[in-house]
């Protein structure tokens, strides 16, 4: 199947799109939860009602401690103490460790706080970018999600739809294709859902090795910005992609990471980054369903612009 | 109400107890999931069935970046970049951060891997303590819990039972008292449950300030070791305490942290540490129930002896 | 001996002082070495000529890994590997470690880069404060001192002059007192010298324990700002104090750390911080001289706003 | 010039060599300074007497924050605060930073503590390897060098002797070649000297880019183990190489890093690692001399198995 070049979006169209999907003020001037406001009691009950086999599956990439093309500053993980030290008090003995890491790495499964992105001097809800200094954010930090994300997850598996192992860098998934995947899998993204979006990014990584997926590298596959209209209309609460949802290079005139700008700054969407669904798809195929309970909780880190996390799907 | 001194346990009784609750070999010679094996499809469905109001509550203490009596090596959390840097590529701008921390701190909400504890040269399942070196564990690391913990949580709130704000350091909760709490709250710890154990440790911390709760300090309230028999018989899957479940000083002859030795080394129980239930108890009282869905997922960290995490209760 | 309250300096006088001692442009518009320019071949030879007994003495405080009143974010130092791991290749075995630390702590011996301080929007040489972003400084980083500081050190020991163990927090040393110390010790601060300034800060710390010496604490003893005229006229190249040279609280109207502003932003002086001279004074007394070769080299860290270091005196 | 394959050394010869150069007990059973004991007053005065032009030159590689073939776990260096934060107290403003790093990296200029190496279960002076645990060393840590290294440095520049830019990986420098370099440069390694040993390792790195110089990579040039006899007889105090002095692969039967075993475990020599002499050789050529004052001071880190440092040559 030959892929066409993604449609190029002029800046004026992008600005219109930004305004159309913008949720500033929708949940009050000081709201910090954004589209998670779509998750109400009904959504949580619906999600819990999907639990049947009890299988749970991680959607996180194991934390990578080795430098590589997409991991230039790998996490530092060291033992602090192991059983060569007997407690001064006798038994038992303890082993302990230490982890140091950035959050927003290209192969570190993490979730973004809304303060992670500013567009034209403003973060979500129209707050000034100056609310984030070298001391950290004064609003919209990751503790806005402290009580976790619990809702229905809907996987749209684009490589499955296309019959390929993965999308190639630079490819952009359109609204039509998302709808085709919905039809093929018998699901429909609805209010309060966690949109689990698979391009096969991690599958490619496993098979071909890590690659630099930034602007100075080979790029990556993601969503075409037009799909933001669909996510907005469907009232999607959260976005959990492999990759980070962006098509690199961008298809928008003069905007480098347009999906981040729209999802996080305009819509206030809870966006994760660098998940993997290789175990998940096996369970989905085995259970013949592409919806499940998602539960995810970032570390409760005051001032965090995000957090490493381990999101779980329960069937 | 006058508290009696906890009953002192001779070493021989402790050794018997160790053997009685020992699960080595129970789930095969190379099992690494221990008592999480009690959580089967039925347990997960039962837990999901508890979701009614959809409220979710964090049981984590906010990560504490300030040194204190129970936090001598506080987490280091720094901004890496904020909006003073415009992307070389234009909009949007990004803020990012960095976290460095041990896991097993006395006020850091975390979960232990089974390799965290060795007793008399052995870790859970009879494996040698030498399986853990300065390069990390070769077995029973935290990735054994990679797919998360999903089951019913049952809170036993001892200060509520006693009509006090918190238990004082050195107090040990007995089996009789756990059973009394079950009766008072109308719950019963059963196979596969997450035992959420409240001594009021964090409430005391909030009101009186942090204290050194180790052997060189004021100590802390916890479980009497006799309760391990009850947890074993009830087939409890996981233990989520404020504090860490230990009575300090110990009530066992010659064993400094006997609850860790029994729960982790003997039983292979999934044990968390330093949670807080101050938000949880408000919801329990409001909903008039002390059981709920628990979902918890450690970071997917190969070689981890534990992990910071943010466990969530869903009602 | 009763100490008088330090003379209070109105803002206008401070501004005059700033202009008087300002070295902006003195060594060219892009100079980054500031007063180290005073150290020429003659100064280095003079310093080398002081080497007679060959004794060398550290002026660094041992790196403190324990939180305390003046060390709220202690250095994290962990073993990475020790001899429990045999090399895959056989003998020998290796032990290795890891250190994580801020530099500008109140009990961490360090040297400041000139980019460490901005006054009214400008750093040394009139460069804009905006030259330092969250990615680090674009000029005046610590690599300006990459080739080390080698010159004569002259110790002025104020507690010795006064016959006390240490100066009390809040005390400010005047020009007259520095000159009296010169006379008493038979030395004279001259062009290119490293001014080693002892208030007994570390002695007090050793005897009374650490204290919070900031504005929210007990304060500290330092230099009166009037002494900057003397340092400027004498062409002092570097300043190595116990404490950091500041009197806290400040004696200058509306300026919190006036000595930093004058030394670093105005004069471009190489300023260290939190040294200790308890071993040094013993050698000085034994050798009956208060001048010696100083050699000091910050880590060669591109982008550093300073560096931990271990300055050495050679007699 | 065709290089011959280095002579292969049987294990029995290596063991003899170990015993011949072994300094255990030479300076007392609890000595921790090893060959630095060769540096007495005469040596320091001699070194100071070499100071003529006053030029000083760093022998450190700039700290490398980018992962690469010889830097798989790069140093983490972040800004903590910059001038976007006004002091609560007004002027001035401060910028600060944070560094986290291992010490013993292949492109991190550092010095080893004697506790860094164990051979056949023993560290220098015959102390047991068990003196180093996951809590760190109980003896021979880097604070044994707290008061710095001050002595004469003698550069032997092997590429200069050979008329090449650098030695190729796997080449081993013999005693005859060291003596030829002495003759060519008009210097002689003597008691208490710092042996500055240039293979051109860093020059190769600058020109060809970083390479993996370990056993799983391309290897590196170093000393033939026979040269240890010469260093022992000449009473060399310290060893400052580019690379780390080892020929990789090793030329000794069954010993992977034989130079480390001999220098550190047997002789107790102060050994640095991964220096660069590209600036140094320019000054040497300009001054037409290959001896100079060396001053070097590791961080004063209790428990350090080594330290990042910035060694300086003064002419």
Alpha-carbon distances of D260 from A198, C46, D30, D198, rounded to whole Å: 51, 38, 21, 17
- Nearest beta carbon to residue B51 from set A44, A77, A308: A44
Report the chain D residue with the minimal C-alpha distance to residue C96: D305
Which residue of D98, D116, D136 is the best one to mutate when testing the B interface, meaning the one whose CB has the most B CBs within 10 A?
A: D98
C-alpha closest to that of B232 among B31, B19, B8: B19
Q: Percent of chain D beyond pLDDT 70? A: 99
A229-286 pLDDT, tens digit each: 999 999 999 999 999 999 999 999 999 999 999 999 999 999 999 999 999 999 999 9
- Which residues in chain D have Cβ-Cβ distances shorter than 8 Å to C65? 302
Contact B7, B17 (CB under 8 A): no
Q: Which residue of B has its CA nearest to A133?
A: B82
pLDDT of residue B3: 59
pLDDT tens track for C9-50: 999 999 999 999 999 999 999 999 999 999 999 999 999 999
pLDDT at C85: 85
Paired sense of beta strands C96-102 and D96-102, if any:
antiparallel
Q: Are D259 and D239 in contact (CB under 8 A)?
A: no
**What mean pLDDT comes out for the span A167-179?**
97
Residue B314 pLDDT greater than 90, yes or no: yes
Q: pLDDT for B25-56, tens place per residue?
A: 999 999 999 999 999 999 999 999 999 999 99
Nearest to D81 by CA among C243, C307, C136, C109: C136
Ramachandran class of A25: left when φ > 0, alpha when ψ lies in -120 to 50, beta otherwise:
left
Alpha-helical runs (H) found in A192-301: 201-208, 227-234, 258-260, 278-287
pLDDT digits (tens, 9 = 90+) for B99-122: 999 999 999 999 999 999 999 999
- Angle value at C-alpha B105, between B101 and B111, nearest 5 degrees: 90
Q: Are C108 and C61 in contact (CB under 8 A)?
A: yes
pLDDT digits (tens, 9 = 90+) for B175-213: 999 999 999 999 999 999 999 999 999 999 999 999 999
Nearest to D116 by CA among D260, D215, D18, D223: D260
* Total Cβ atoms within 10 A of residue C241: 23
pLDDT bin (cut points 50, 70, 90) of residue A87 is confident
Asked if D282 contacts D140 with a C-beta cutoff of 8 angstroms, the reply is no
In terms of phi and psi (left: phi > 0; alpha: psi -120 to 50; beta: otherwise), the region of A6 is: beta
Report how far residue B105's alpha carbon sits from residue B73's, in angstroms, rounded to the nearest whole number: 8
Residue-wise pLDDT tens digits, B277-298:
999 999 999 999 999 999 999 9
Summarize pLDDT for C270-281 with one digit per residue, the tens.
999 999 999 999
**What average pLDDT does the segment C147-166 reach?**
98
Sign of the CA dihedral with D23 first, then D24, D29, and D34 last: positive
End-to-end CA distance of chain C: 33
Chain B: give the shortest CA distance to residue A157, in Å: 21
- Cβ neighbours of A53 (radius 10 Å): 15
Segment C174-206, tens digit of pLDDT: 999 999 999 999 999 999 999 999 999 999 999
Minimal Cβ distance to B73: which of C76, C80, C134: C76
> Which residue, chain included where needed, has tokens 């010869």?
D13
Please, which residues bridge with residue C240 across strands?
C196
| Residue found under tokens 């040294």 | C275
Q: Is the model's pLDDT at C88 over the cut of 90? A: no
- Shortest distance between the Cα of B159 and any Cα of chain C, in A, equals 32
Which residue is it, tokens 């310290």?
D238
pLDDT recorded at residue B215: 92
Report the greatest alpha carbon distance in chain A.
71
Interchain CB distance below 8 Å, D44 and C54: yes
Rounded Cα gap, residues A215 and A106, in angstroms: 12
Cβ separation A100–D74 shorter than 8 A: no
- The tokens describing A146, both together, are 């402290």
Please provide residue A127's backbone torsions phi and psi, each rounded to the nearest 5 degrees: -75, 150
Euclidean distance between CA atoms B23 and B235, whole angstroms: 11
Shortest distance, CA C273 to any CA of chain D (angstroms): 13
Residues with Cβ within 8 Å of D223's Cβ and at least 6 positions away in sequence, in order, are: D172, D173, D197, D241, D245, D246, D247, D259
For residues B265 and B261, what is the distance between their CA atoms, to the nearest angstrom?
A: 5
DSSP C243-282: TTS--BS-SBTTBSSHHHIIIIIII--EEEESB--HHHHH
List the one residue out of D262, D256, D179, D164 whose CA is nearest residue D215.
D256
Q: In terms of CA atoms, which chain D residue is nearest residue B83?
A: D84
Residue pointed to by tokens 């409001």: B286
Side-chain half-sphere exposure of C288, counting CA atoms within 13 A: 0
Mutate to test the interface with A, among B37, B50, B64, B95 (most CBs of A within 10 A): B95
Query: Measured between alpha carbons, how far is C292 from C280 in angstroms, rounded to an integer?
Result: 10
pLDDT of residue D1: 42
Whether the model pTM is above 0.90: yes
Distance between CA atoms of A100 and B80, rounded to whole angstroms? Answer: 13
Instruction: State residue A1's pLDDT score.
Output: 42
B310 within 8 A of B58, measured Cβ to Cβ = yes
Mean pLDDT of C137-153: 98
User: Which candidate in B93, B151, B258, B270 is best for mutational testing of the A interface (most A CBs within 10 A)?
Assistant: B93
Tens of pLDDT, residue by residue over A88-143, are 788 999 999 999 999 999 999 999 999 999 999 999 999 999 999 999 999 999 99
Provide the pLDDT confidence category of residue C135 given band limits of 50, 70 and 90: very high
Give residue for tokens 């990679």.
B146
Least CB–CB distance from B134: residue in C67, C81, C135? C81
C3: pLDDT strictly greater than 80:
no
What is the C-alpha separation between A185 and D230, in angstroms, rounded? 76
Instruction: Say how far apart CA B63 and CA B110 lie, in whole Å.
Output: 10
Closest partner CB to D81 (pick from A67, A74, A135): A135
> Rounded to the nearest 5 degrees, what angle is found at the Cα of A16, between the Cα atoms of A14 and A20?
115
pLDDT of residue A85: 84
Test B56 with A41 for CB contact under 8 angstroms.
no
Closest CA to A100 of C5, C87, B299, B267: B299
First to last CA, chain A: 33
Both tokens assigned to C186: 């038979």
Give D81 to chain B, closest Cα distance, Å.
8
Question: CA–CA distance from B304 to each of A62, B146, B269, B307, D39 (Å)?
Answer: 11, 11, 16, 7, 46
CB spacing of C297 vs D310 below 8 angstroms: yes
* pLDDT for position D89: 84
pLDDT value of residue D3: 59
Residues above pLDDT 90, as percent of chain C: 95
Q: Contact A82/C84, CB-based, under 8 Å? A: yes
| Token couple for B43 | 């347990």
CA distance between the termini of chain D: 33
- Which of C78, C82, C134 lies closest to A80 in CB terms? C78
Separation of alpha carbons B204 and D217, rounded Å: 56
- What is the model's pLDDT at position B213? 95
Output A89 or B250, whichever has higher pLDDT. Answer: B250
| CA atoms C101, C106, C110, C113: torsion sign | positive
Tally the residues of chain A: 315
Q: What is the pLDDT at residue D85? A: 85
Name the band, by pLDDT with cuts 50, 70 and 90, for residue A3: low
Per-residue pLDDT of chain D (315 residues; tens, 9 = 90+): 445 688 999 999 999 999 999 999 999 999 999 999 999 999 999 999 999 999 999 999 999 999 999 999 999 999 999 999 887 788 999 999 999 999 999 999 999 999 999 999 999 999 999 999 999 999 999 999 999 999 999 999 999 999 999 999 999 999 999 999 999 999 999 999 999 999 999 999 999 999 999 999 999 999 999 999 999 999 999 999 999 999 999 999 999 999 999 999 999 999 999 999 999 999 999 999 999 999 999 999 999 999 999 999 999
Q: Is the pLDDT of residue B86 over 90?
A: no
Is C35 in contact with C265 (CB distance < 8 Å)? no
Q: Which of B54, B97, B300 sits opposite A310 (nearest CB)?
A: B300
Across the interface, whether the CB atoms of A133 and D85 are under 8 A apart is answered yes
Numbers of helices and strands, H then E, in chain A:
8, 17
Cβ pair A45:B63 closer than 8 A:
no
Q: Identify the three-state secondary structure at position A264.
A: helix
How many angstroms separate the CA atoms of B156 and B227, rounded? 13
Q: What is the ipTM of this complex?
A: 0.96
Least Cα distance to B107 among B137, B63, B48 occurs for B63
> How many other C-beta atoms are found inside a 10 Å radius of the C-beta of residue A271?
27
pLDDT attached to residue B4: 67
Q: How far apart are CA D52 and CA D192, in angstroms?
A: 21
């Amino acid at each position: 199947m030959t892929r066409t070049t993604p449609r190029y979006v002029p800046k004026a169209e992008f600005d219109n799109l930004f305004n159309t999907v913008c949720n500033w003020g929708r949940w009050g001037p000081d709201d910090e939860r954004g589209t998670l406001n779509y998750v109400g009691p009904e959504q949580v009950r619906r999600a819990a009602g999907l639990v049947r086999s009890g299988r749970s599956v991680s959607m996180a990439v194991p934390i990578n401690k080795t430098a590589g093309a997409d991991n230039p500053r790998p996490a530092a993980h060291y033992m602090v103490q192991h059983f060569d030290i007997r407690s001064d008090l006798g038994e038992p003995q303890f082993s302990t460790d230490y982890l140091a890491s950035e959050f927003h790495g290209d192969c570190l499964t993490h979730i973004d706080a809304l303060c992670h992105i500013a567009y034209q001097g403003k973060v979500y809800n129209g707050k000034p970018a100056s609310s984030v200094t070298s001391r950290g954010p004064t609003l919209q930090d990751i503790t806005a999600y402290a009580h976790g994300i619990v809702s229905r997850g809907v996987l749209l598996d684009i490589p499955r739809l296309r019959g390929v192992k993965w999308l190639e860098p630079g490819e952009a998934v359109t609204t039509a294709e998302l709808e085709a995947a919905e039809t093929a899998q018998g699901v429909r993204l609805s209010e309060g859902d966690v949109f689990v979006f698979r391009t096969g990014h991690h599958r490619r990584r496993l098979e071909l090795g890590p690659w630099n997926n930034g602007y100075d590298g080979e790029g990556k596959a993601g969503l075409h910005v037009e799909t933001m209209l669909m996510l907005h209309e469907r009232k999607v609460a959260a976005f959990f992609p492999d990759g980070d949802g962006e098509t690199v290079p961008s298809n928008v005139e003069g905007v480098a990471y347009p999906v981040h700008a729209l999802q996080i700054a305009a819509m206030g969407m809870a966006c994760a980054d660098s998940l993997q669904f290789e175990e998940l798809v096996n369970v989905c195929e085995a259970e013949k369903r592409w919806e499940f309970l998602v539960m995810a909780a970032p570390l409760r880190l005051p001032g965090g612009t995000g957090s490493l996390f381990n999101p779980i799907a329960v069937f």
